[in-house]
Each structure stands twice: as C-alpha cells, then as structure tokens.
Structure 1
Amino acid sequence: MALMDTDMPFPHAGGIVEIDSDEVDYVLELMNGTGIELFSSQNVRRLQGGVSSDVWLMDCLQGNNLKRYVIKQPLATLRVQKNWSAPLKRALYENLWLEMASRVSAESVPHVYYFDEKKPLLVTQYIDVTEAEVWQRQLFSGRFDLLFVQQLGEQIAIFHEMTAGSQNYAREFNSADILRATRIEPYIFALIDTFPDMSERLVEIGESVLANRISVIHGDLSPKNILNRDSKPVFLDAECACYADPAFDIAFCINHLLLKFYRLGDARFILMSRLLATSYLQKVNWEDRTGLEKRIAALIPVLMLARVDGKSTLHYLNECHKNTIRKKALNLLTKNLFSLDFIFNEVAFTH
C-alpha cells in the first residue's frame, strides 16, 4: 500500500499575481515591435509556477473587445535549489514544436502570435480556465478522466509518428545540447554522485535518449504542462523539444502518474498509467513495439529516482515518500526490464 500524508499540502497550478510598474514597463517594451495590437488599456500580471521562464499574462481591452496574451521569456538560470543553467535558444525549439503540433491538430496547442529568437520572446494565446483545466489540478483534486488519458496517449503517439524517420525534422530539431542541459544532465547524470555504483547504467540510459534519434519529442510532458479541454489534451511548455528517443516522452508522463500514486495512495493512478501506456503503444507503427516498450521501462525507474535525488525534486513528496520511491527505483534499476506491466505491478504492491 502506498504511503499518504494528509498533512502535506498539494501543489496548485500557477496563480496570477500583480507586478510593479518597472516590471510592467519591461513587458511593454518587450511587446514593442511585435506588431500585436495592444489597444489603449493593458493589464500585465505574472503567471506563477514556472522555474525555467518568466511568464506574464497581458489583458488588452478596448471597449468590449478583450484580447489576452501569454508572454514568455526563458531564463538562463532556472529557479531551483541546485545550480542549473540551460541555453536560451530553447525558446526557438518550443516555437518549432508548437508549429509542428498545430499542423497535426491546431486545437492541441495554444496559437502562437509572435516569436523573436533574438530577445528571445514567445507570445501565445491565453487559454482560460473556463475553457481548459490544468491536468495536474484535476489529478490532485481526485477527478480522473480516463477518456482524456486515452486520448493523451494516442495524441503523443501521433506526434511521434508524424516526425519519425524524417530527415527534415531531424535537422530542424537538432537540439541535443538543450535536452542534455534540461533533462539528461539534471535528471539522470546528476544522480551519479549520489549513486556511483549505478553510474554505468545511468550513463547508458541517458546517452541512449540522445543517441536514438527517432522522432521529435516534447521533453516535458508533466501534468502541469497539459490541459484538459473536453477530454482532449492541450500541450504547453515545449522548451525541451528535440529529435531524440520517443520513449522519453511517454516514460516522463507515466512517471508523474506513478509518483502521484506514492503521494496519494490511489490505485487509479496505476490504472491511468496502464491506460496511457496501452493507448500510446497501440498506435506505434514506426518501430517495433517490444523494443520501444523496453526502452520506456528502462527509463521509468531512472526518472523516479531523478525526482527525489536529481536537480528537479518534487516538492509534494515528503521524506517518507522519497525513501519508498528511492528503494523501489534502485531495485528496479538492477533488473533487465522488458515489460511496463511488471513495473506497474511492482509499484502497486509497494509497502
């Protein structure tokens, strides 16, 4: 049975907060030259919750005409406890990923109004909470939409299928340095000092994500970066986009569900993990499913360990949760994993 601590606060999606006049002026200066009509009245506020970028919401009002924009500028040094830097050019690849996704399904991503690689600056549509809700909020409030999970797995597979084996996409998303700086180094290689006896295995798994240049991946498929709109997914925050191993995307997302099982003790997180994996794998036609499942299975215990001992730890896990997850992840890392079902069963029967 998973451990649950009811006294520990749940995380919430980022709120909207007021900012001072200097910060407002800075944002307005950023918007100069974008060609976006700002109208006569503007209200600029900060969207909280991001560690990798400054994000603002701008409301522009003229009469009854309201336009709302999300303004995003990446940070060179991320807002985490441990030292973590990443190239600013990741904004370029986020923009490219949003363009790619919109060609598949325009409703699966916010509309991009403007992008400037030099600033760098990305301006997108603001999707109101009345239209779509952050999946993370739904999960922590005990609202589980299985149709959404199924469609999420299918949509991720569609993105991978569209870009798999494409030399054009491989050239366009030649951003291994960004994935290394934002995911491989801080999540996987950062574990080596703490677990030196696992160093060979960790290096092997981390390097394989970069070496298996199979499709475009999002790189940050966390529930906080996915909205639920009428049981269909809307994807945000693709700063880590790269041409790499599609196993990383689905393993990253499944890992978040498994960690929430440890936090909340609700077996439906195991059910959703199975459903997400099944709906994804059923649509895989660009490579052998067995080989892909094996790579996903190899990544999951590494990512479990990364969220308790890497540079990006999850604040909703207490020390008791972390100890349980650490023990299970290290045990799984010693096994030659082939099956996701084996992992789900192992996690489900954790005591």
Structure 2
Amino acid sequence: MESVPDEMNAGLQGLGLLDVGARARGEPLSGGVSSDIWHVVLPDGREACIKRALAKLKVAADWRAPIIRNRYEARWLARAAEAVPGAAPALLGQDETTGTLAMEWLPPDRHPVWKARLRDGHADPAFAAEVGRRLARIHAFAAARPELSADFPTDSLFHAIRLEPYLVATAQVHQDLAPALVGLVARTASTKLTLVHGDVSPKNILVGPDGPIFLDAECAWWGDPAFDLAFCLNHLLLKCLWNPAAASDFLHCFEVLATAYLAGVAWEAPATLEARAASLLPGLFLARVDGKSPVEYLTEEKDKDRVRRVGRKLLRCPPDRLRTVRAAWGEEIGA
C-alpha cells in the first residue's frame, strides 16, 4: 500500500479520522474520470473510501468543473440515506478545505459494480426494477421537501458537468439538430422539481446484498428527475452494442426499470415525466458518441453510426413514450 496524497491526508485529519501527524495508507482506485479515489486503511485499522474532485476531468476533451462539487455529493449521500436506508454509502464526512470526501468502504467481493455484471451478460430484471424503484423513492422524498433546494445551488455546476459536455457539445457536432438539443438544455435547466443525482450510470451502482447502492453524486442538482431516468436508461440501450448476445435482456431491463420508476412518481403526472425523459433520451444517446464523454466501449464507426442513426431520427421527431425509444433501437439492432 502507498501513502495517500498530502491533500487527502490533510482532509482525513480535518475530518477527525486521522490524528495530526499520522499518515493513512491505501491504494488508488481506477475507473473514475472526475476524481482521485482511494481505498484507505487508517492507523487504527478502519477502512474507508475517500475521493477528491479534479478540476480537469480525465477525458480527451478539455472538460473542467468546479471542485466544490464534493460538497453537494456529500449532501446527496446524506439525503439518499434518509430516503432509502442502504441506497448510498454511509457518509463519514466532507472536508471543504481540501475537497476530501470520506465514506464507508464497501468490499468489492460483496458489492460488484453493475456495469461489470452487464458487461458479462448478467441482466437481472429484478435488480433493474429495484434501481428504478429506489431512484423514484429518493426523488419522491426530496420532492416532498422543497426546502432542500436551498442546499443544492448547483445550476452552473450541473451545466458545466452535464448539460454542456453532453447536449451543447453534441449540438456543435450535429448543427442541423442544434435547435432541438439546445431546447432540451433549456427545458431541463428550467425544470425544478426534486433532488437529482445526475450520473445514474451502471458504473455508479453497486449490486449490494440488499439491493442497489448509488455512488458518485458529484452532479447533484435540484432540477428535473427525468434526467436521472433518461441517463440510466441510456446506458441499457448502449450496452446492447457492448454485449450483443444479451441485447434482448438489456432491453427487458430497460422496460422493467422504467415501469418500476414511473410507478413511484407521485409529485407530478407520470406521463408528463415520461414525456420529458423520452424526448431527452435521444439527445443523451447521441451525446455518448459525439459529446465530450463518449462511452469507451464503442470504438467501431459502424456501431457509432447506429447510435447516430437512431438518435438523429428521434431528435427530429421527439417521442413522448419510452417504449418508442426502445422500439426504435430494437428495430435497429434486431432485438
């Protein structure tokens, strides 16, 4: 094991998790592009996961974001744990001086990453449904407490880390679709209903012994819950090209996740939220090949062109039901 970076070590001291003058040791974790993340062992033997936001993300494009986002991630973790106990790692603290966030360590052998399970073709519809169900419960909890909005003044952060690199950047590539994409940005930014995670991706969901556990809420924002639903469903569509043999199973997971989520929508008409998610989804779909954060597993142009073909078609004629998106993609890939 290595000594943790000085800033993180100071952060642990600031949180009272480490005595002044002591050093924590651990190992850096891979997989993230927006933070340095470590599994650490404290001198008293306790284990923790700590992370520190990066000003420049680890992607090819010049993508920068304010490091203050760890503050709001900590607040999201606390609220999610209130809404659905066990749906997020226990928060140990957040040191604003160094930007260090500390949370409980969840051993990988008992908490595999959902993305890895999907990569291997393990598409469990019951788990997908529980992802939708828990996400809706978190949204419903916050929607019933509008005073929480004051804790998440993150409009500019959400624009910098989500709307600009995904939809605005894609509009610059597909200029004929720019009005539609910019319209999605404006609508999403102005819809203020509940606490949004902002990065509900299989890479940020653990398959825990008692159900899904959501990680990495750096994009936490008071806004449109349809963004979280569309963002997650987008990955289930894209995974069909990563593991074609499991495509039909992934599309079934898409259906059950969406159904379970919409069954929990009580703060507005479910059909209204579904219409926003369905029309946003093609923009996010196209963004994962032509935005600033393309998915790493689509490397063949023929696969990217399939995404472009369906995404562009649906942006020209926006759907109001998620099944329309699923049907268009199923027709394209023969699943």
Per the normalisation by structure 2, the TM-score is 0.94
| 2:37 is equivalent to residue 58 of structure 1 | no
- The aligned residue for residue 6 of structure 1 is none
- One-letter code aligned to 2:10: E
- The partner residue of 2:93 within 110, 114, 139 is 114
C-alpha displacement at 1:194, in angstroms?
1.0
| 2:237 is equivalent to residue 255 of structure 1 | no
Alpha-carbon contact 2:74-2:93 (below 8 Å) kept = no
- The aligned residue for residue 328 of structure 2 is 346
CA RMSD between the two structures: 1.8
- The aligned residue for residue 94 of structure 1 is 73
C-alpha displacement at 1:166, in angstroms?
3.5
- One-letter code aligned to 2:41: D
Question: Which shifted more, 94-103 or 222-231?
Answer: 222-231
- Alignment: residue pair count: 329
- The aligned residue for residue 14 of structure 1 is none
**Which consecutive residues of structure 2, in runs of 5 or more, have no partner in the other structure?**
none
Question: Which shifted more, 172-181 or 236-245?
Answer: 172-181
Per the normalisation by structure 1, the TM-score is 0.89
| 2:84 is equivalent to residue 105 of structure 1 | yes
| 2:2 is equivalent to residue 29 of structure 1 | no
| 2:195 is equivalent to residue 195 of structure 1 | no
- Give % identity: 35
- C-alpha distance in structure 2 between counterparts of 1:33 and 1:303, whole Å: 39
C-alpha displacement at 1:263, in angstroms?
2.4
Alpha-carbon contact 1:77-1:85 (below 8 Å) kept = yes
C-alpha displacement at 1:41, in angstroms?
8.4
Q: Give SS of 1:238's match.
A: coil
- The partner residue of 2:148 within 160, 169, 174 is 169
C-alpha displacement at 1:206, in angstroms?
1.1
| 2:139 is equivalent to residue 157 of structure 1 | no
- One-letter code aligned to 1:46: P
- One-letter code aligned to 2:256: L
- Residues 256-305 of structure 1: per-residue CA shift (max 9 Å, x gap): 00000122222111100011100000111110111111100011110010
Alpha-carbon contact 2:84-2:134 (below 8 Å) kept = no
- One-letter code aligned to 1:77: K
Q: Give SS of 1:161's match.
A: helix
* Superposed counterparts of 1:1-351, under 5 Å: 19=2, 24-37=5-18, 42-60=24-42, 62=44, 66-164=45-143, 166-230=145-209, 232-265=211-244, 266-318=247-299, 319-351=301-333
- One-letter code aligned to 2:322: L
- C-alpha distance in structure 1 between counterparts of 2:47 and 2:264, whole Å: 36
Alpha-carbon contact 2:229-2:277 (below 8 Å) kept = yes
- Residues 194-241 of structure 1: per-residue CA shift (max 9 Å, x gap): 111111111110121110001110000010100011361101000001
